[in-house]
Structure 1
Amino acid sequence: MQPWSRRQALTTVTVAGLAVVAVLVGAVLSLYLTFRPGAAPEQSVAEGVHQAGAVVDGREEIAAAPMLEITPADATGGTPATSLPEQIEIPRPTDSGPARIPTGFPHTPEGAVGQLNAIVGDVVTTMSIPHAHEVYQAWSVPGAPLADQWSMTQNVARFLDSAGIPGQSADGRVQLRATPQAGQVKGSDGPDWVVACVLLTLEATYERSAEVAYGHCERMTWQTDRWVIDQGPAPAVAPSTWAGTDLAVQAGWRTWSWAD
């Protein structure tokens, strides 16, 4: 076999490099395609029960109640609010829990919001289906839907697929960051149960960056010494509005503030 000429070698390296760049730029763009409003699975079970007028308890009504409808463009910008949005003060974690998720949040609705942020933020930045399974199994009650049915697991799978990343994990091939921007308590049923919601800015970077807002809600219940994801159909899809906009205020988002 003849050795490659310098031109052949450069051509091969260039083609390979462009392929890598294409995959990772695709990962950046897929961030928007994955987490844009409407990308999450429809909550047909919960909504069907609610819309049919069946007798459901307060928790089902809280979870299924529709939230503000928005467009995909609202996840990337919008008209800044001229008023100052209300703040939600979130306590900081004090420990590390199962699956290396920050924990130690107090037995309060704000503590539930903080714990949800820790769970979702970790799954997003890791972008690994096996890790999403590990997190969900460690942070959900017995009887909750299977991990492969969890919307965050499905989000990870969609990201990897649309980015053209083979396998079940991004494996550091793209830098991902999740920053909490706002939160809200959609509703509660006593001190041990809330529907907590977080609004994150998700950023993917490889030479260039893309950002998109992502809202996510979960049923959260207090078990012994921590907040975990409760069983039951997933809540109605949260509005993924850009933080600090008029729409974010209308959607009930309160600006994130870490407690001192």
Structure 2
Amino acid sequence: MLRRAKKTKPAKATPGWVAWAVIAGVALILCVGLAVGAMQWMGGGSSTSRSAASPAATTHTTAAPNTSNRAQQDAIANRPMPEGDSTNMDATNFRPKPEVQATTPDLVLPKSTRTEAGVATGFPKTPEGAVAQLAALNVATYNNLDVNAGRAAYTAFAMPGAVGLADWNATKMAMRYYADNPSTDPTRMRATFTPVQGLIKGSVGDSWTLACVNGQVLYAYNGDSNRIGVWDCARMQWDDGKKRWMLAPGPNPARAPLTWPRDELSYRAGFRDLQNVPN
């Protein structure tokens, strides 16, 4: 299996752990819909004046007679996403691509009111709040690719029946990186995740939302640095006792497409630029 490159160079080959994530469906940050997520990464693109197509319609539904909420949730989670899913496995899509002018309104995220387990939280009981919470979980988990921080975030925010620690995109990615690069000293790793786009794929009632985030991970280690686009889609459920959004029960949703944030493909898939990203 390919190992991490030793030095940073233009047009550097994709690290083996990144390629694995893409093929696997992410796992590593890369897509939680990335159902398991699939991952993408690497550097920024230059902006152009081209306009992007309109995003896919978001599904909002409430419980129907003789139909369980879980059946509706599964229907939303399993619905293929435009411009992606398993048919789009071009690994270059997670590398920097030219950015285009968005023609859709920004997705304005609410502000957090507190921090728990190193994760910004306290977002309101709205679909936008669910997106903000998923973005905050990714921010905390990708911070320096710290496996312990990711485990703490997952433990505090995963409901019973949610995808396991080893299958949640963000933690799976960090774990896979160190498995592929056993000589890496985790204390010297530096990494950050910046949420750039979000998507509300659908909601059932006011307590369940399929949320997605698309952003960039910048990581550096021993002179090797890269920016990579990554996405994560997850079932999110409101916990009335804890008054916060949590990773909900159920398997990973259908993969999101491999896209660079703000490239034309990302907008066709339905992603919208974010305002008020958590940190």
TM range (shorter): 0.7 to 0.9
Aligned with residue 40 of structure 1, among 26, 49, 70: 26
Q: Is 1:258 equivalent to 2:269 in the alignment?
A: no
Provide the identity percentage: 27
What is the CA–CA distance in structure 2 between the aligned matches of 1:190 and 1:60, rounded to whole Å?
14
Structure of higher RCO (CA pairs closer than 8 Å, 6+ residues apart): 2
Q: Is 1:233 equivalent to 2:247 in the alignment?
A: no
Give the TM-score, by structure 1 length.
Answer: 0.75
Q: Which residue of 1 aligns with 2:232?
A: 216
CA contact (8 A) 1:32 1:211 kept: no
1:134-163 per-position Cα deviation (integer Å, ceiling 9, x unaligned): 221210112324323333332111111233
SS in 2 for 1:234: coil
What is the CA–CA distance in structure 2 between the aligned matches of 1:24 and 1:243, rounded to whole Å?
22
Which runs of 5 or more residues in structure 1 are unaligned?
1-19, 47-54
Range moving further from structure 2, 124-133 or 242-251:
124-133
Q: Which residue of 2 aligns with 1:202?
A: 217
CA contact (8 A) 1:34 1:159 kept: no
SS in 1 for 2:100: coil
SS in 1 for 2:220: strand
Q: Which residue of 1 aligns with 2:265?
A: 247
Range moving further from structure 2, 74-83 or 104-113:
74-83
CA contact (8 A) 2:198 2:274 kept: yes
Q: RMSD in angstroms over aligned alpha carbons?
A: 3.1
What is the CA–CA distance in structure 1 between the aligned matches of 2:25 and 2:80, rounded to whole Å?
16
Q: Is 1:77 equivalent to 2:63 in the alignment?
A: no
What is the CA–CA distance in structure 2 between the aligned matches of 1:165 and 1:198, rounded to whole Å?
31
The structure whose Rg is larger is 1
Aligned with residue 94 of structure 1, among 113, 137, 145: 113
Matches within 5 A, 1:20-39: 22=6, 29=15, 32-33=18-19, 35-36=21-22, 38-39=24-25
What is the CA–CA distance in structure 1 between the aligned matches of 2:26 and 2:119, rounded to whole Å?
23
Aligned with residue 80 of structure 2, among 62, 66, 74: 66
Shift of 1:172: 3.0
Shift of 1:241: 1.1
What is the CA–CA distance in structure 1 between the aligned matches of 2:5 and 2:22, rounded to whole Å?
23
Q: Which residue of 1 aligns with 2:196?
A: 181
CA contact (8 A) 2:119 2:137 kept: yes
Aligned with residue 57 of structure 1, among 71, 75, 86: 71
Pairs aligned (count) = 226
1:161-180 per-position Cα deviation (integer Å, ceiling 9, x unaligned): 233445xxx53322101001
What is the CA–CA distance in structure 2 between the aligned matches of 1:92 and 1:240, rounded to whole Å?
28
CA contact (8 A) 1:29 1:210 kept: no
